[in-house]
Chains A and B, each alone.
Chain A
Amino acid sequence: AQKITQTQPGMFVQEKEAVTLDCTYDTSDPSYGLFWYKQPSSGEMIFLIYQGSYDQQNATEGRYSLNFQKARKSANLVISASQLGDSAMYFCAMREDRSARQLTFGSGTQLTVLP
């Protein structure tokens, strides 16, 4: 079974609009972390935001927020006020604390911001 599922291979959003990128996960580990990374065409993997499984509040970092719904096992990324520079591949990833703490990645969502 897929541990991280990103069902949107590609998304388009108009500049200055908000966009939600979906991520669902599967784990039986009670302690885990969820991450979002951005990968522009240049290839570097840029950390955006982190949510711990025991965190009560949804994480926010500037224009990024994570809509964490633990019972539904979803961790959607919300980007507010999209900018042209937000065009990139976005990966959701999970770290299970019982494991070697490596990240398991989803297949990614290619976001294109339209002017």
Chain B
Amino acid sequence: GAGVSQSPSNKVTEKGKDVELRCDPISGHTALYWYRQSLGQGLEFLIYFQGNSAPDKSGLPSDRFSAERTGGSVSTLTIQRTQQEDSAVYLCASTGRATDTQYFGPGTRLTVL
């Protein structure tokens, strides 16, 4: 499809396990953003990629969170040793050179038991 895609759509995991969330941006979009949406915190910025580099990692909540982007396209957000407070919807967005608008994927709902 032409939009941002994310997988899996839902992920249930046990506390302490690692999880990987994937984002496939709109083709040709150079910038990619990860956000987290939770009931208590609203929508929070996590990390931003321009191409394959992440100039701003300030939003990552702890060193258990990491992200990478390869080939200027797909990005993976990894959460190690998951905690219950990591339960949230993780949203990915992308934007291209010709637009300032961020287009969002459908999100991954993460539940940590």
Contacts and interface: CB of A to CB of B under 8 A. Distances in A.
Interface in A67-115: 91, 93, 95, 99-105, 107-108
15 contacts: A43-B89, A44-B104, A44-B105, A45-B107, A46-B104, A47-B104, A50-B101, A93-B43, A101-B100, A102-B45, A102-B48, A102-B59, A103-B45, A103-B102, A107-B42
B72 interface: no
Interface string B37-52: 0000011010010000
B33 interface: yes
A105 B42 contact: yes
A45 B48 contact: no
B87 to A, nearest CB: 15
A47 B59 CA distance: 22
Nearest to A108: B42
Contacts of B55: 100
B42 A43 contact: no
Contacts of A33: 100
Given A46-B104, A95-B100, A103-B33, 11 more contacts: A37-B104, A43-B107, A43-B109, A44-B106, A45-B91, A45-B104, A45-B107, A47-B102, A100-B55, A103-B45, A107-B42
Contact of A47 (B33, B91, B103, B105): B103
Give the most central of B43, B58, B91, B104: most A CB within 10 Å: B43
A25 interface: no
A101 B48 contact: yes
Contacts of B103: 47
B99 to A, nearest CB: 9
A100 B48 contact: yes
A107 B44 CA distance: 11
A37 B105 CA distance: 13
Interface string A19-34: 0000000000000010
A101 B99 CA distance: 12
